[in-house]
Chain A
Amino acid sequence: MSTEAHVDGNVLGGMLMEMFGAEMTDRRGCCGECGAIGTMGSMHVYVEAPGDVMRCPACSAVLLVLTRIEPVVRVHVVQLAWVEMAAD
């Protein structure tokens, strides 16, 4: 698997905050394709492709796709099986 084209989930930190209303980069998420679990901040992100594509670092499955089709910003939840919220 090539390593040169992606950044990591920290780049989408701002968007994740908007979506969940909380800091999410240190929250664990699970890939629905292969079951791998990792922090949202460590997921692989391909930016401006034209949308942003978050993929599983283990199997490359598409977890989230972010599109900015003015004025609507949409997050497509594709194969992100779950993401943890903070315990109160």
Chain B
Amino acid sequence: MVGTAVPRRLTWLVAEVVEMVDETARARSIVLRCPGWSGHLAGQHVDVRLTAEDGYQAQRSYSIAAPADGEKVILTVELVDDGEVSPYLIEELSEGDRLEIRGPIGGYFVWEPGRGGPLQLIGGGSGVVPLMAMVRARVEGGSDIAVRYLSSARSVDLILYREELARLARDSEGVEVLYTLTREQPDGWTGLTRRVDSEMLEAHAFGAGEEPLCFVCGPTPFVEAVASALVDLGHKAERVRTERFGPTGG
């Protein structure tokens, strides 16, 4: 090919860790400053590459947690038991360290206010990360598109972004946040308490007649069950976008 430059998003860029933020006991957000970052849309992800001194390399994909903001790229990483990369990113990586990333990647699982709504977001575990980027994009963009955000977590202490979402739901018109805790609930819990199913979607998600754009993200079995339920409830398959993390959730 003559005269083609390699797009920046294909090359490995070196980002610097500006801040590590504790989200839950098992998750941290990594705030990166990445010179040369070309910007991104909510829902996109980056590839992260780690290289050990003996040359051994490991590569994983992580969703970007916030909309584009110059050179800033924020990733939220949840610990995967027996994982290789997530323990490093959560327990070892520190402010000042450098990290190789490539991206942004993904043209399918993306949303920006111009794509319309209403917006139905359903996430399992760390599947909420790209959905949070969409919520933040909706709020920061000053959009009035109606958003319903449904997050499934095993227990209340594993819910990501809880305080921020409470504030956004309170302060923004048209943002509704719901949680379902599938394994254990704190005393006095009045929220939902089972896996996301058809009845829950029928009661709490936008109806098929409202033609929402649905984004479903999380472990593969979760995504398959929720996406099928949405289609069975009448949502058109083209308006249900999915991102599967695999059995362990990434």
A: residues with CB less than 8 A from B are 3-8, 10-11, 13-14, 17-18, 21, 23-27, 39-42, 47
Point out the residues of chain B lying under 8 angstroms from A24, CB to CB: 107
| Contact yes or no, B108 A7, CB < 8 A | no
| Contact yes or no, B108 A39, CB < 8 A | yes
Measured in the bound complex, the distance between the Cα atoms of B48 and A11 in whole Å is 12
Point out the residues of chain A lying under 8 angstroms from B4, CB to CB: 21
Closest to B238 in A: A39
Q: Is B224 an interface residue (CB 8 A)?
A: yes
Point out the residues of chain A lying under 8 angstroms from B29, CB to CB: none
What's the minimum C-beta distance from B210 to chain A, rounded to whole angstroms?
23
Point out the residues of chain B lying under 8 angstroms from A14, CB to CB: 10, 47, 61, 102-103, 105
Q: Is B109 an interface residue (CB 8 A)?
A: yes
Majority SS at the chain B contact face: mixed
What's the minimum C-beta distance from A86 to chain B, rounded to whole angstroms?
9
Q: A18-B10, A21-B1 are in contact. Are A8 and B243 (CB under 8 A)?
A: yes
Q: Which 5 A-B pairs have the closest CB atoms?
A: A41-B108, A26-B107, A13-B105, A26-B108, A23-B107
| Contact yes or no, B220 A7, CB < 8 A | yes
Q: A3-B220, A6-B246, A17-B9 are in contact. Are A11 and B61 (CB under 8 A)?
A: yes
What's the minimum C-beta distance from B71 to chain A, rounded to whole angstroms?
20
| Contact yes or no, A6 B220, CB < 8 A | yes
| Contact yes or no, A13 B244, CB < 8 A | no
Residue among A13, A18, A21 making CB contact with B45, cutoff 8 Å: A13
| Contact yes or no, A4 B247, CB < 8 A | yes
Q: Is B7 an interface residue (CB 8 A)?
A: yes
| Contact yes or no, A25 B105, CB < 8 A | yes
Interface centre among B61, B106, B247 (most CB of A within 10 A): B106
Point out the residues of chain A lying under 8 angstroms from B247, CB to CB: 4-5
What's the minimum C-beta distance from A6 to chain B, rounded to whole angstroms?
6
Q: Is B221 an interface residue (CB 8 A)?
A: yes
